[in-house]
Amino acid sequence: MNTTFEQVRSFFDACKAYWIRQGDPEHVASSKAFWWDCVECWNFDNSWNDAKREFASIFNYRQGDTVPSADIVERGWG
C-alpha cells in the first residue's frame, strides 16, 4: 500500500478530506493530514519508501526530521 507517489498523494487527500469533514479549515486539515496521518504513521511503523520520501519533500520534510508539536499542527502547519 502507498508504494507509488500517486497512491501516497491519494492517501493524503483522503486524510485531508476527513479533517475538513471534521470542521477544520483547509490549511489545518492539510497540516493534520501530513504530520499526523502521514509522517507520524510512517515514522511509527517505519514504512518509509521512495514514494513517501518524494511526497514529504514537497513539504520540505526529510525522513527523521523533527515533527512539530500538536499546538503548531493544530494551528495549521509546522
pLDDT tens digits for range 12-52: 999 999 999 999 999 999 999 999 999 999 999 999 999 99
| Distance between CA atoms of residues 44 and 10, nearest Å | 20
Q: What is the pLDDT of residue 25?
A: 97
- For residue 78, name the pLDDT band (cuts at 50, 70, 90): confident
Q: Is 32 helix (H, G, I), strand (E, B) or coil?
A: helix
User: What are the C-alpha distances in Å from 29 to residues 25, 38, 44, 58?
Assistant: 6, 12, 21, 16
Confidence tier at 2 by pLDDT (50, 70, 90) = confident
In this predicted structure, the answer to whether residue 73 has a pLDDT above a threshold of 90 is yes
Q: Give the residue among 69, 59, 74 at the shortest CA–CA distance from 22.
A: 74
Tens-digit pLDDT profile for residues 46-69: 999 999 999 999 999 999 999 999
